[in-house]
Chains A and B, each alone.
Chain A
C-alpha cells in the first residue's frame, strides 16, 4: 500500500536511457508543434509517425496503448463528439439529427482538436512511462532547480498513496459505526464532515514533526549536495534537444509565414 504513485515501467530501452531533460524537451516540442503548425495534418502525422513508433522504441507499447484506451481515448472521443455536434458554422451539412446538424467543417475542426489533445496527453504519458520521477528531479536539481521543489514533488508522490489508504480506513471505520454514505443527498453531504475531519487533522498533525526532522538534516542549507547516482547526459542528448528546439521554432515561424 505504501508504494510510490507513478506510471513508471522499469525497462531497458533507448528511451529509458535518454536524459530526462531531453525527454521533457521532446514532450513540449511535440505539443508546441501540434498546436503551432499551420498544416491540418500535422497532429495526425505526429501520432502515427512519432508517438506510436516511440512507444515501441521505449518498449512500453503495451502499457502505452492500455493508458491510451483507458485515459486518453475517452476524453478525446467525448471532446470529438461534443464539438462535432455543437460547433456552430460550416455550410456542407452531412447529417441532421433532430435539431443538430453535423457539418463537414465542424467534423474536421473537431477531429483536429481531438488529435491535438491526443498528442498532448500521449506525449506526457509516454514520458511518464519511461522516466522515474526521482530521476527527473535529481537531474533538474543538478541543473539548478531548488531542492525544495524536488522535495515537494517527490514527497507528495509518497504521501498521496498513504493518505488514500488512510481515507479508506476512515471510510470503513465510519461505515461500520453506521455512517450513511450512499442514500439521500443531504445524508451524503452530512457524511463529508466525519470523513474529512479525521483525515485532514490527522495529516496536518504530522507536518510539525516532519518539519523538525528535515530541518535537522540540513533542508534549508545552501551548500551543494553530492549525489549517489550519476544521470548520463550524452552528446546525443544535447544534439536531440537543440534539434527539437529548432523544429519548434521552424513550425511556429511557418505559421506566421503561411498566415
Chain B
C-alpha cells in the first residue's frame, strides 16, 4: 500500500500536464536532430526529464505513451518498441532517486545505465519480432556480425551496445542542461525537485572523478563486448 501511495504522490496535476509536453519534446527533438543530420536520435529527452522530476513510474508512462503516440500519429513502425521507452523512463527515475542526476559526471553514469538497459530490452524485440535485422541503419553492423558466425542474440546485443551509449549519454546530458536552466520556483511545483538539485563541489576533483568514471565505463564496455564476441 505504501508503494501505491508513493506512486500516487508522483502523479499530481503538474505531472499530468508535463507528460504531453515531454512527449512533444521527444517527437520534435527527434525531428530537429534529423534536420541537423546528427548521428544520434535524442528522442527521449522528455522521457528523461519526467523520470528525473516526477519519479520512475511517471517516466515509464511518458516513454510508453510517447511510443504509442509516435505510432498513432507519425509512423506505425514505432509501436513494438514501447518496452524500451518504458525502461528508459523507469531507469532514469531510479537513478535520479539514487542521486545520480545532481552533477554532470553522475548524469553520464545515468546515461550509461539507461543505454545498457535499452540495449538489453530492445534485443529480444529485434530478435523475436524482426528476426534480428530491423529497419534501422545500425542493422548493417548486426548483419556483419551474423556473417562472422555470431548467434543472433549476441549479434543484436553487441550492435545495440555499440550504438546506445553515445545516444543515451548525450540525451541525459541535454536533459540535465535543461533542468539547470529552469528556475527553482518552477521545479518546486513538481513531485521530486530534490532529485535535480545541483551539488556544489571543487571543480578540479570533480573533473578527475569524471575522467576516472569514463575510463572505467569504457573498460567495462570493452570487457563485456570481448566476453560476448569471444
A residues neighboring B (CB under 8 Å):
5-7, 35, 71-72, 74-76, 78-79, 82-83, 85-88, 99-100, 109-110, 113, 117, 120-121, 124-125, 128, 133, 148-149, 151-153, 155-157, 159-160, 162-164, 167, 171, 181, 185, 188-189, 191-192, 195-197, 199-201, 203-208, 210-211, 214-215, 219-220
Q: List the 5 shortest-distance A-B pairs measured between CB atoms, nearest first.
A: A86-B143, A156-B20, A124-B76, A75-B135, A159-B24
CB of A6 to closest CB in B, whole Å:
6
B24 adjacent to A211 (CB under 8 Å): no
B28 adjacent to A167 (CB under 8 Å): yes
Bound CA span A86–B149, Å: 11
Of all chain B residues, which has the CB nearest A197?
A: B181
Of all chain B residues, which has the CB nearest A212?
A: B13
Total interface residues in chain B, CB < 8 Å: 54
Bound CA span A155–B71, Å: 16
Which stretch from B33-41, B82-90, B97-105, B112-120 is at the chain A interface? Answer: B33-41
Q: Is B212 engaged at the interface, CB distance under 8 Å to the other chain?
A: no
Which stretch from B126-134, B156-164, B218-226 is at the chain A interface? Answer: B126-134
CB of B225 to closest CB in A, whole Å:
20
B143 is contacted by which of A85, A113, A153 (Cβ under 8 Å)?
A85
**6 sample A-B contacts, Cβ–Cβ < 8 Å, listed by A number:** A6-B72, A82-B133, A82-B143, A148-B16, A159-B21, A163-B27
B residues neighboring A (CB under 8 Å):
11, 13-14, 16-21, 23-25, 27-29, 31-33, 35-38, 45, 65, 68-69, 71-77, 79-80, 129-135, 139, 142-143, 146-147, 149, 174, 178, 181-182, 186, 189
Chain B residue contacts of A83, Cβ below 8 A: 131-133
